[in-house]
Amino acid sequence: MTRFAFEPTPVPIVAIADSPLLFPVHRIYCVGRNYAEHAREMGADPARDPPFFFQKPPDAVVASGAAVPYPMRTANFHHEIELVVAIGRGGREIPVAKALEHVFGYAVGNDYTRRDLQLEARKSGRPWDTGKAFDRSAAISAIHRVGAVGHPSRGRIWLAVNGDMRQQADLGDLIWSVPELLSELSMLFELVSGDLVYTGTPAGVGAVKRGDRIEGGVDGLDTIANKIA
């Protein structure tokens, strides 16, 4: 029998829509600058260069309806609404044409960001961990199975703060499509059941403050709402 020095932390989980089952999270991958207008607002060239990825810790997930604490050491805390892909079957070096066969379902996510720390790290050529990979920085709705929602490739993606629309675009505006992202990611890491992939955010990111209510969604999929505590 395995004996631990102390009780292991619980496996991070995400709800599955219309199911009593839960989705155990293995890793959280995020892709940067995958909408042209967002790339421009961040001062980057929106050219179709190979996608780049960063990670958040699995226990950064926070459910819709839960409070998101305003994080430490930042004065510029931003929202980023995203389509999230949940991996149901692992693999490596997956061809683009086969990539969607590995998808369990889809959710709506918010890639919360300490923008000042991210920009400071980018300017210094350092990793983005302090700006991106912090506690409760990966808000996510329930995951909807492919059998119920198909593979969303078009549809409005949006976010509002206290009812004021901030972000609005179409999934068709993604520079790199979901199959392309998954294929490229599988060339760098072996994908595993339980992985989540945040696919990038459209233009309109901005700061939030304590007490703000953040709502967003993907039309035909789901919505997500959190209050900044």
Q: Is the pLDDT of residue 101 over 80?
A: yes
Percent of the chain residues topping a pLDDT of 90: 91
Q: Is the pLDDT of residue 39 over 80?
A: no
Average pLDDT over every residue of 178-184:
98
Q: Rounding to the nearest 10 degrees, give the CA dihedral for residues 211, 219, 30, 58.
A: 60
Supply the pLDDT for residue 211: 98
| CATH homologous superfamily of 24-228 | Fumarylacetoacetase-like, C-terminal domain (3.90.850.10)
Q: What is the DSSP string of 20-86?
A: S-EEE---EEEES--BHHHHHHTT---S-PPP-EEEE-GGGEEETTSEEPPPTT-S-EEE-EEEEEE
Average pLDDT over every residue of 93-118:
98
Q: Is the pLDDT of residue 46 over 90?
A: no
Supply the pLDDT for residue 41: 76
User: From the CB of residue 177, how many other CB atoms can be counted at a distance below 10 Å?
Assistant: 18
Average pLDDT over every residue of 115-136:
97
Per-residue confidence band for 13, with pLDDT thresholds at 50, 70 and 90: very high
Average pLDDT over every residue of 1-24:
96
Supply the pLDDT for residue 72: 97
Q: Is the pLDDT of residue 45 over 80?
A: no
Supply the pLDDT for residue 49: 76
Q: What is the DSSP string of 153-170?
A: -SSEEEEEETTEEEEEEE
The amino acid sitting at 118 is Q
Q: Is the pLDDT of residue 113 over 90?
A: yes
Average pLDDT over every residue of 83-102:
98
Q: What is the pTM of this model?
A: 0.96
Supply the pLDDT for residue 62: 98
Instruction: Of 41-45, 84-88, 141-145, give the lowest mean pLDDT range.
Output: 41-45
φ, ψ of residue 124 in degrees (nearest 5): -90, 0
> What separation in angstroms does the CA of 89 have from each of 98, 100, 221?
11, 10, 21
